[in-house]
Structure 1
Amino acid sequence: MFSDNFNPKAELCSIEVADIAEFPTELGSRCLLLRELGLNAYRNTEEELFEAVTGSAQCSEYLKICLQDSRCRAFWERFRRGVTPFSERDPVRLLGYQGRYRVSEGKHRVCLAKRAGVKTLKAYVWSLPEDTESLLSPEGTPGRYRFRYLLDPGCRSAASGEAAGLWVASPPGVPPGRFDFSPALLDVRQDTDGEFVPLFAGLSYRVSVTGITRRTGLFGYRKFISVESEIIIEPTHRKTKIWLFSIPAGEALSMRPAGCTHLKTVYRFGCWRRRHFKLLSRIFFGSF
């Protein structure tokens, strides 16, 4: 993204480190702190890394661990002299929106600067036209959730009840599945014959699809499809992205562009961002 938009002739800006919204987590395998915390950049989830890096930020003992690494120690020596390390040949690059910044390049330097209490650093800033990167707040609690809707095969928009939707990020080591690449409804296509299917540790679901007949009027009968879904989210689930939501079945199945006012978040955990919400809204409601 930066390769097409970054202007190498632009002047470096002085940025308040406190205005850099988050600790970066993409620190690779060379981060001594992650190793000391028993974490691996490629075997742990973004959420596990984020929790560890952020949670250890105020502890001086962890800063000492960082400074045992020759590279981070070199960063610190330059920061102490008021110089941003390697800003001439490998500048820090930030995404900016309304005075808040996120790291694109220079993650180790920014991590050290935030951890060591550096006040300012020099960086190139690419201004975003809108906020796509702010974290969404967690919602809901783990538990067992059931949903049911009736589908009229002859008129999808006449469906009644609530349809469940799920979006996840399977942790490293678990092959990505149907709910990884984009949000998906637990509908007739996900039928598990009522049997629970585990997605990863602490999260499983089932979908049961059955045909029913109901009386319509004095002598008429009509066939419907009943779709029941159940999701179990255990309190000990793996720390990774989970987003369980519900939508009125008539809106979800007809894909009416009615806006996302009727989408209800049941449970959301993990580093979900505004761009994820925009994608979900666009898929189900044509918004944005």
Structure 2
Amino acid sequence: MPELPEVETTCRGIAPHIIGHTFQNVIIRQAKLRWAIPEELSQVLPGMAVNSVSRRGKYILLATDHGSVIIHLGMSGSLRVLLASVAAGTHDHVDFVFSDGKVLRYTDPRRFGAVLWTTLAPEQHKLLKSLGPEPLADAFDTAYLFERSRTKQLAVKNFIMDSHVVVGVGNIYANEALFKAGIHPNRAANKISKVRYQRLVDEIKHTLTAAIDQGGTTLKDFVGGDGKPGYFKQELMVYGRAGKSCVICGTELQEIRLAQRSTVYCKHCQR
């Protein structure tokens, strides 16, 4: 699944090609995604220009003077800028055609993503208004995370993956940040000290920033907006490495399931 660095990479990849350009047409080949694509999308967008491309959590926002397109890449979605003459494939569900002859193409083999439209401020949309702070923003700090954790008895990994607590810390990066912070992923969130949360906040920020700088993590389906893979996979220290040696101490890495997700850790380095 594309996580925050992959979504940020996609935003940065498509923005230079579409900001300031005008929608000429919207071709909807498959409207049945996670939520049905609004019927009015192909009527309201033509003639509007893209004012900005931004991200909130894992949602991509294409802002115009009269509303915003909200896009979620789901489990396997991608956005690419192509020439309108490039033939669409089986899983190419939506084309945003621009007046300069380019197209922003939404592809989603599993159809678990979303393409929506809102005339409200995006932060007021029901999918976005209850989201927690951005992990790279100043609002996400030690004091905030520590206070939120005091009544939480769930595993710390599940706690930091809750989008109401903080957005965008998906499975890959939660594994990596907890390892670097030396915290066992199954430890109760309210049993972790403030000092250790300071280390965790720092590692979440560092891990996500490093992944963004390298274009995200390519595992199965992800490529960036330019069609190129991310390279952060080469730096993964625990995720996908169950049974291999810890890069710090050499102990065999263990794997458990937390909230139905693969969780890899070092029993020696993480407490």
Higher alpha-carbon Rg: 1
Q: Which has the higher strand share?
A: 1
TM-score grouping bracket, smaller chain normalisation: under 0.3
User: What TM-score, normalized by structure 2, do the two folds share?
Assistant: 0.26
User: What TM-score, normalized by structure 1, do the two folds share?
Assistant: 0.25
